[in-house]
Amino acid sequence: MLSALSTFLPPLLLLLLWTPLTPTAHGHQPDEQFHEELVVRPLAGDHVNTYFQFTTRWHYGDRNNLFHTQLTPRVIAEILQTYDVKELHISLTQGLWRYESWGYPIVDATGGAELWAWFSASNLTNDAVNKQWMQLANVFSGVLCSSLNFVDNTNSIAPRHIFRPQFMHHAGENGKQFVRYATLPREIVCTENLTPWKKLLPCGSASGLATLLNSGFVHNTKYHSLGVKVRTLCDHDDDNNCIVELTQTANLVYDLKLLEQSNTDFSLRRLFGMGLNGYCELATSSRIYAQRSEQGERFQLVPPPAFNVSSIRGGHRVSYGVYDIQQQFEAAAPDATRLFNIAWIGEKSAGGGRRLAVSALNLPPLYAHRYLLGNGQKRGRIATEIRNTHYEDLPVVLLELVPWYVHAYLHTLRIRNKAQQRREYATDVNDELPFKLLHYAPGKQRELPTHLEIGFVLPAKSSAMITIEVDYLLLKWLEYPPDANHGHYIGAAVISTQLPMGRNYSALPPEAHLFKDSFNASRPSYTLTLRTEALIVSLPTPDFSMPYNVICLACTVVALAFGPIHSVATKLMIVERQTTMPRNLLRKLIHKLKSRWGSKKEEATSVQETATDEKQQQQHEEKEAEQQESVICNEQKQANM
């Protein structure tokens, strides 16, 4: 694998990929440190990006167990103690990041849930990693209250080239390294994920920058992403110098038009519904960075920042206004209860009104889109279009994870190229771009997904269209989701490259842990990872209303048949003689009168008989009374004698 990669990537890139990270010297610093940061960047199209980063670093040294922590959540320490995981990335995202308009995010993520981890230990096998991988997903499913428990072998792969480890192990650990990757594009991010995510912070949501993350103002954004990153950094020469680094991120994009803003002015109070009530008492540093260049140069900051920072990265200059929240509240009066707020005031035009014009952002050097071609529910094509707007060739690595219910054909894989001046892609086979590396692992129905990784060189000022033909499989009726007609998801493709310039690039260096570490961090090249859109395919779906109709019909028939059958089986049948009715009208009247006279006569007879019976009964009672009196008189006479 390394030989194939070395023939494709330049030697400088290999040096960057395999250069070890060095943990910072601690010396007199405490064992655990916590930093909270907020970056506010005005974007094109009246959008605002707010990026929260909470970093906890624990220098645990040579401890045998990691159960006694102060700032680091114990669940994170127990996971590192139980499993052989050295690096972990989890993201829960709702929405789509617009690279053409907003540039590159500080931390990139795909829609839904995304999870990948690095495992390393002596005598670690592939089967043991698969078992630990699923157990790890189940643990964080409970920690973040998400559906990560659905991660299994049917949606997990082991990438070969696109992900590079960012952890460091000491000299005593020279075991193999394993990586696992999975996505759940159907996952929905809601308040149930935000609340347990904030509970992992040392101060929770009681104080500090986390108080701005109100669920009512987080989930009404056009894009919001929650991230958790854990890695271990050990000095290769000193086994006792080890660090556990936990980074929690929240990336939000607000649309000022949706906030009912009459102009482009905004503030922290307007975005989050409240001002800042203070800083976390356990934090070593608490800062807010307001970007003032690019789209931020249209605004004036009120109050002015404590100081300004200018950063040059890859020939691209960016300036920030820095607010130190600890100094801000320590310098305030002791009895001050006013919430701290920062306002971005737009420049006024010559007429006195607000200038609403927004300058368009330069296109990023590389961006991509994804499409689903074809019609019908039997077969189609997955197309990924990658565009290079830079004046140099760029090496590109593409990762595709195709679920098992979509069967891909490797022999149909093509990479067509076209220059920016051309409107259509080349159809000649000789004009297609050659593969520099290729890894393909076919999927297996209901067991394994299709894993595809390709590498090629994208010429300058051109676009590449990667297409592959697929077939849609017929699922069993129990394998369909509750909303079957909504469709089935294909996760986003992951694209990685090396940029020779830092335009629109704001990610942190691999060895950095704070946002300020990205200032003036110029490199010969910058590792860029971006995601495309997720796809929805319409598989052959049966009519699930038919069982409902059958059940309703069967229940109706049973209900209609049960009543008569029950009556026939339980009631006593008595047949009465019916008198014949004359047909002549005169005879009918005579018959009716006779019947009435007969009924009256019967009533009189019954009354007379009743009176006779009562008279006889009365006479019988009087006779019995006389007999009793005579008996009593006889007894008295005998007593006198």
Q: Which two tokens stand for residue 210?
A: 């986390």
Residue 461's CATH number: 2.60.40.740
Same domain, 396 and 337: no
Confidence of residue 335 (pLDDT cuts 50, 70, 90): low
pLDDT at 379 over 70: yes
Q: Measured between alpha carbons, how far is 242 from 236 in angstroms, rounded to an integer?
A: 9
- Helix H or strand E segment including 308: strand 307-313
**What's the whole-model pTM score?**
0.81
Per residue in 452-483, pLDDT (tens digit) is 999 999 999 999 999 999 999 989 988 888 88
Question: What value does the mean pLDDT take over residues 507-530?
Answer: 91
Same domain, 338 and 372: no
Per residue in 272-288, pLDDT (tens digit) is 999 998 899 999 999 99
What does DSSP assign to residue 630? Answer: H
Same domain, 370 and 342: no
Question: What value does the mean pLDDT take over residues 91-109?
Answer: 94
Q: Each residue of 217-246: b (16+ CB within 10 Å) or e?
A: bbeebebbbbbbbbbbbbbeeeeebbbbbb
Same domain, 370 and 335: no
Instruction: Give φ, ψ of 165 to 5 degrees.
Output: -70, 145
Same domain, 315 and 434: no
Longest dimension (CA), the chain: 155
In this prediction, residue 375 carries a pLDDT of: 87
Per residue in 587-620, pLDDT (tens digit) is 777 777 777 776 666 666 666 667 677 777 777 7
Which residues make beta-bridge pairs with 294?
none
Confidence of residue 313 (pLDDT cuts 50, 70, 90): confident
Same domain, 399 and 431: yes
Confidence of residue 430 (pLDDT cuts 50, 70, 90): confident
SS3 616: helix
Same domain, 506 and 422: yes
Same domain, 299 and 413: no
- Is residue 356 a part of any domain in this protein? no
Q: Measured between alpha carbons, how far is 527 from 307 in angstroms, rounded to an integer?
A: 30
Final residue of a structural domain among 346, 374, 408: 346
Question: What value does the mean pLDDT take over residues 347-356?
Answer: 53
Residue 126 lies in domain: 34-346
Q: Are the CB atoms for 382 and 454 separated by under 8 Å?
A: no
Could you identify the residue written with the tokens 């919001």? 224
Q: Measured between alpha carbons, how far is 507 from 249 in angstroms, rounded to an integer?
A: 13
Considering only 23-27, 211-215, 299-303, which range has the smallest mean pLDDT?
23-27
Same domain, 276 and 380: no
What does DSSP assign to residue 411? Answer: G
- Helix H or strand E segment including 639: helix 585-640
Per residue in 121-177, pLDDT (tens digit) is 888 999 999 999 999 999 999 999 999 999 999 999 999 999 999 887 765 566 689
Q: How many domains does the chain have?
A: 2
Q: Measured between alpha carbons, how far is 439 from 286 in angstroms, rounded to an integer?
A: 45
Quote the percentage of the chain above a pLDDT of 70. Answer: 85
Question: What value does the mean pLDDT take over residues 339-355?
Answer: 71
Same domain, 154 and 232: yes
- Is residue 571 a part of any domain in this protein? no
- Is residue 633 a part of any domain in this protein? no
